[in-house]
């Protein structure tokens, strides 16, 4: 089991039926959502509930998140999560670790880079009450995207869609986990166009760097291209755009 700080609390995790596809294993984006639930539970446990952030006119947003999947999550499987902040810069930028377990076995791990913003999306410092509520735990391993052997020259695959008003999260924009869904849909369409079963894809690792928020009613373009291979998986690179604005870039590793 990967080492975690002894003082971190354990939070139960339940992935609902909608998180699972025809093979009865969870999608990568829903693993990201489960990790977000663990982070929210940990924040609430030290007194910083979603309502308190609103009252304080602040919020955390993800800048970069990297996840490595040790194995797939099966439907009905009981999980628990642990999380801790591991680094801060100027009380504005924070690194956080998240780990999901089934019993003592690690299922998935993540390293997240967060920025603290005002509700109007302006960078701001976390106040003393907020900063002092979270104990930094340093010296534990971070999750990194595996290096890969590049294979240039593959064609670009593109699809478009318009975001729904019903997709907006509590901050009024598309939640960061949805970007993984968009990347995976790009991979699924590419694989299906090759005549393969898109439902057979197995998540190995992914990393997304977020550059701009996506709101309701925006026409979004997802660009996907195969970039290489690593760990027995195909490596895909993605751009998610609203018009000419690059909202996020991502890299996904998928087997199958």
> How far apart, in whole angstroms, are the C-alpha atoms of residue 112 and residue 151?
28
CATH hierarchy code of domain 149-255: 3.10.129.10
Q: Is the predicted pLDDT of residue 1 greater than 60, yes or no? A: no
Predicted confidence at residue 77, as pLDDT, reads 96
Predicted confidence at residue 7, as pLDDT, reads 73
Neighbouring C-beta atoms of residue 95, cutoff 10 Å: 19
Contact assessment for residue 228 and residue 222, using Cβ atoms and an 8 Å cutoff:
no
Confidence of residue 198 (pLDDT cuts 50, 70, 90): very high
Predicted confidence at residue 252, as pLDDT, reads 98
**Average pLDDT of the chain to the nearest whole number:** 96
Gyration radius (Cα) of the chain, Å: 18
In this structure, the dihedral spanned by the alpha carbons of residues 99, 102, 105 and 111, taken in order and rounded to 10 degrees, is: -10
Predicted confidence at residue 8, as pLDDT, reads 83
**CATH top class, domain 11-133:** alpha beta
Mean pLDDT of 22-26: 98
Q: Is the predicted pLDDT of residue 2 greater than 60, yes or no? A: no
Interval 38-60: pLDDT, tens? 999 999 999 999 999 999 999 99
Interval 203-247: pLDDT, tens? 999 999 999 999 999 999 999 999 999 999 999 999 999 999 999
Interval 95-114: pLDDT, tens? 999 999 999 999 999 999 99
User: Which alpha helices (H) appear in the chain, and where do they start and end?
Assistant: 28-45, 50-55, 128-133, 176-193
Q: Residues near 57 by Cβ (< 8 Å), separated by ≥ 6? A: 118, 119
Predicted confidence at residue 237, as pLDDT, reads 98
The residue extents of the domains of the chain are 11-133, 149-255
What is the residue whose two structure tokens read 């999306």?
121
Q: What is the pTM of this model?
A: 0.96
Domains 11-133 and 149-255 share a fold: yes
Burial 45-84 (b: 16+ CB within 10 A, else e): eeebeeeebeeeebbbebbbbbbbbeebbeeebebbbbbb
In this structure, the dihedral spanned by the alpha carbons of residues 235, 62, 220 and 155, taken in order and rounded to 10 degrees, is: -10
Neighbouring C-beta atoms of residue 135, cutoff 10 Å: 11
Q: Is the predicted pLDDT of residue 163 greater than 70, yes or no? A: yes
């Amino acid at each position: 089991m990967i080492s975690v700080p002894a003082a971190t609390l354990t939070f139960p995790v339940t992935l609902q039926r909608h998180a699972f596809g025809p093979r009865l294993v969870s999608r990568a984006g829903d693993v990201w959502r489960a990790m977000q639930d663990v982070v929210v539970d940990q924040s609430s446990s030290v007194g910083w509930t979603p309502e308190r952030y609103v009252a304080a006119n602040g919020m955390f947003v993800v800048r970069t998140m990297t996840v490595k999947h040790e194995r797939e999550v099966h439907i009905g499987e009981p999980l628990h999560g642990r999380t801790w902040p591991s680094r801060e810069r100027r009380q504005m930028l924070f690194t956080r670790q998240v780990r999901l377990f089934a019993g003592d076995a690690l299922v998935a791990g993540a390293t997240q880079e967060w920025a603290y913003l005002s509700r109007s999306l302006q960078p701001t410092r976390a106040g003393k009450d907020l900063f002092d509520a979270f104990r930094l735990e340093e010296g534990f391993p971070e999750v990194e995207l595996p290096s890969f052997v590049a294979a240039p020259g593959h064609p670009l695959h593109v699809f478009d869609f318009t975001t729904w008003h019903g997709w907006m999260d509590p901050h009024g924009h598309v939640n960061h986990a949805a970007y993984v869904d968009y990347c995976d849909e790009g991979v699924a369409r590419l694989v299906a166009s090759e005549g393969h079963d898109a439902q057979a894809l197995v998540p190995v690792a992914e990393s997304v760097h977020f550059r701009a928020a996506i709101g309701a009613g925006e026409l979004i373009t997802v660009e996907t291209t195969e970039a290489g291979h690593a760990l027995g998986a195909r490596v895909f690179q993605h751009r998610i755009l609203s018009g000419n604005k690059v909202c996020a870039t991502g890299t996904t590793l998928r087997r199958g």
